[in-house]
Amino acid sequence: MITPLADELGELDAVAQADLVRRGEVTPYELISAAIERIEDLDPTLNAVITPLYDEALEAARTLPVRPVGPVGPLSGVPFLAKDLVVEIAGAPFSEGSRFVRGLVSQVDSELVRRWRRAGLVVLGKTNTPEFGMVPACEPLAFGPTRNPWDPSRSTSGSSGGSAAAVAARMVPMAHGNDLGGSIRYPASACGLFGLKPTRARNPLGPEYGDAISGWACEHALTRSVRDSAVLLDATAGPMQGDPYGLPSPGRPFAAEVGADPERLRIGYTARTADGRPAHPDCVAALEDAGELCASLGHDLVETELPGSISEVGTAIGTVFDAATAWIVEYWIRRLGRVPSDDELEPLTRAYWDRGRQVSAAAYLLAIEDCQAFARVVAQWLTGIDVWLTPTMSMPPATIGEITSTAEDPLRAARAGGRTVGYAGVVANLTGNPAMSVPLYWNESGLPIGVHFLGRYGDEGTLFRLAAQLESARPWAHRRPAVTVRTGLSAL
């Protein structure tokens, strides 16, 4: 039975929880204990947390001051979950959703983990992810599917699906995500959360990686509030020594952008998907609703489409993803010192690996060159608008089992997943630009449908200002999914 305190604390965002610690009204140990209660109550239904680290978290909470004196991390004592992909925690099991890797124990902390701890976060577990994060779903054979708190028969999308389910269900106020082609933003849409993909190189990937897939991969988090995302990015942003490239520091903290006037923005928008196929009416309705809200706030909206067509670089994107899968598998072969057996890779991964091994170095570099040329076209186009608005996804959350593959049809998950992401969130990864999914709309079935804003390179500030304005005008934090601590209570 969940205690009233655990339920009450679960409703607070990370900044509010940290404020309670600073004022001495709760201890870090109480925050972590309450989060563990919530996870143990909800996870049997959702399957979001695959690796509990409770003993380590409780011990860490004991070492934090009950009433901090002097400078402390901005998120001191706040419970946090790490996605089990890319980012490693020394002494913790690590699998990247794969039966091939499962059983490995990490030997070092990623730099991002060190920065989480300096901010005061306490990591109390690791969340589910599809094998190597390769599909917009979270149903790995190694751990089973994560279920959407708004409707457990539905997918969380992916690949940060375990983190999204945990935050939406109030297990924790924020959780780690990473994004190679939309993997923060898609589950944010499917689970009714705020999800920001930062600008390329804003957060470090070391010490294991300098970059990943020519800079496509980014690290950050899924949150229920805009301010949580901004405060966390302030705590983690900046290159580590030896990074291949970095970004200039922002003019002021990202947290200072939250609540600042975004002024009058020129917002481009389109309902047209990248491949021209019609989107689901609920996604179009979400776009229209967001456009009306932005107009009511004084912004100028102009209908405009991405220059050229993402389909023109579709072959290059496919080449990069095939090569990326081959790199991932070969990386693990080298690290583990053996090749995967027939049953250790999922059918889709093996199919991509087989294709990726046929990609030459020249073909890969030509594909990257094609994507970078497209990025330059997009950068020029964005000089005429401040942000670009579309639906985040082209369909509501899929049903469990819909985005999966079989030995007989290994590419089934790719086809099914592709139908849900027709607005090509991967554009932000190609260009390196920041982008965000904002939860402003729920359909008649009570499922969240996010809207997506693509910003200019290095300009998270505009996105944070706009997101905070939208959050103030159309609050979403009060909405509770069907699966939360207060089972059956929902404000839809």
Active site residues: 83, 159, 183
Find the angle CA(330)-CA(109)-CA(251) to the nearest 5 degrees.
105
Which residue, 206, 205, 201, is CA-closest to 247?
Answer: 201
Max CA pair span of the chain: 61
**Please, are residues 236 and 140 in contact by the beta-carbon 8 Å criterion?**
no
Omega before 307 within 30 of 0, i.e. cis = no
Q: How many Å apart are CA 454 and CA 305, to the nearest integer?
A: 12
DSSP string for residues in 46-73: H--EEEE-HHHHHHHHHHS-SS--SS--
- Residues with Cβ within 8 Å of 478's Cβ and at least 6 positions away in sequence, in order, are 491
Q: What is the distance of C-alpha 419 from the center of its chain? A: 19
183: cis peptide before it, omega within 30°? Answer: no
| Site of tokens 């149903």 | 139
Count of CB atoms situated within 10 Å of the CB of 105 = 11
Are 284 and 249 contacting, i.e. CB atoms less than 8 angstroms apart?
no
Contact by Cβ (8 Å): 66, 56: no
- Bridge partners of 219, per DSSP, are 178
**Where does 180-265 show beta strands of DSSP type E?**
194-197, 218-223
Residue 60: other Cβ atoms inside 10 A:
20
Q: Quick one: tokens of 148?
A: 């959407």
Distance CA 77, CA 31 (A): 7
Rounded Cα–Cα distance for residues 225 and 13 (Å): 7
Tell me if 400 sits within 8 A of 252, measured CB to CB.
no
CA distance 437 to 434: 11
Q: How far is the C-alpha of 238 from the C-alpha of 183, rounded, in Å?
A: 21
Q: Which helix (H) or strand (E) holds 233?
A: helix 226-236
What whole-number distance in Å separates Cα of residue 9 and Cα of residue 2?
A: 11
